[in-house]
Amino acid sequence: MEMSLKFTQDEQKFLGKLTIATGIAWPVGLIVTIVLSYGVVNLFYPKDTNLIAGLCIGAVVAFSQWLIMKRYFKIGTWWIFAAAIGMGLPFVIEFIFFELRGNELSITGIELLEPAVFLFVCGLITGLLQYSSLKLLTSKFRWWIIISALAWGLGWFGLMLGGVIFGLISGITFLRLFKLPVNVDLDKGA
């Protein structure tokens, strides 16, 4: 399958908006995580924890995607909840593992890769939960599982710009793999 990276003007607008939205949402999700962790979670659990990190970042990034995507095709709010659950669940499992064993869960044993692999797993779960939202768009909707895992995992290497990487990967996927009908006037109703 050939995947061209040439885009129409409408497709460029979609990709630009999605990339900007997720680029902003990524650090906003981190800020929301910090505020809620220290302002709420630490009231009940005094140790430093990433317990709600995935939930917050997943929800904020998916909300930003949903705001853009709903202008182009019918997509429900499950998209947001699926990301919050998919990104949050591995953090909860890691928290429970830490509480039971007293040490951090290690997937690779390589410190630099550990967060990327962890986010890859989070993205895989998120993709599994979100792909049903794409069933009506294309018969290739199952590819979203892998794309989501790659986008979240590779986003780690962008650090604060991770949302830009995530936005580009997911946006190009929506435009090419899923052949979105991006034929609406983006300036109307936006």
Residues 6+ apart with CB under 8 A from 160: 26, 27, 30
Q: Is residue 156 included in any domain, yes or no?
A: yes
Q: Is residue 168 included in any domain, yes or no?
A: yes
- Phi and psi based region of residue 163 (left: phi greater than 0; alpha: psi -120 to 50; beta: remaining): alpha
pLDDT at 4 (0 to 100): 61
Q: Residue 162 corresponds to which tokens in the numbers above?
A: 């991770």
Instruction: In whole angstroms, give the CA distance from residue 29 to residue 145.
Output: 22
Please give the chain's pLDDT, 190 residues, in tens. Answer: 455 678 888 888 999 999 999 999 999 999 999 898 888 877 787 776 677 889 999 999 999 999 999 988 888 999 999 999 999 999 888 888 777 876 665 665 666 677 888 899 999 999 999 988 888 777 788 899 999 999 999 988 887 788 999 999 999 988 887 665 544 443 444 3
Instruction: In whole angstroms, give the CA distance from residue 84 to residue 23.
Output: 17
Look at the chain and report how many structural domains it folds into: 1
Q: Is residue 189 included in any domain, yes or no?
A: no
Instruction: With beta carbons less than 8 A apart as the criterion, state whether 184 and 71 touch.
Output: yes
Total length of the chain: 190
pLDDT at 185 (0 to 100): 42
Q: Is residue 115 included in any domain, yes or no?
A: yes
pLDDT at 184 (0 to 100): 41
Q: Is residue 186 included in any domain, yes or no?
A: no
pLDDT at 114 (0 to 100): 79
pLDDT at 186 (0 to 100): 36
Instruction: With beta carbons less than 8 A apart as the criterion, state whether 174 and 180 touch.
Output: yes
**DSSP secondary structure letter of residue 158:** G
Instruction: In whole angstroms, give the CA distance from residue 94 to residue 78.
Output: 24
Which domain, by its residues, includes 156? Answer: 9-177
Taking the complete model, does pTM exceed 0.85, yes or no?
Answer: no
Instruction: In whole angstroms, give the CA distance from residue 161 to residue 102.
Output: 32
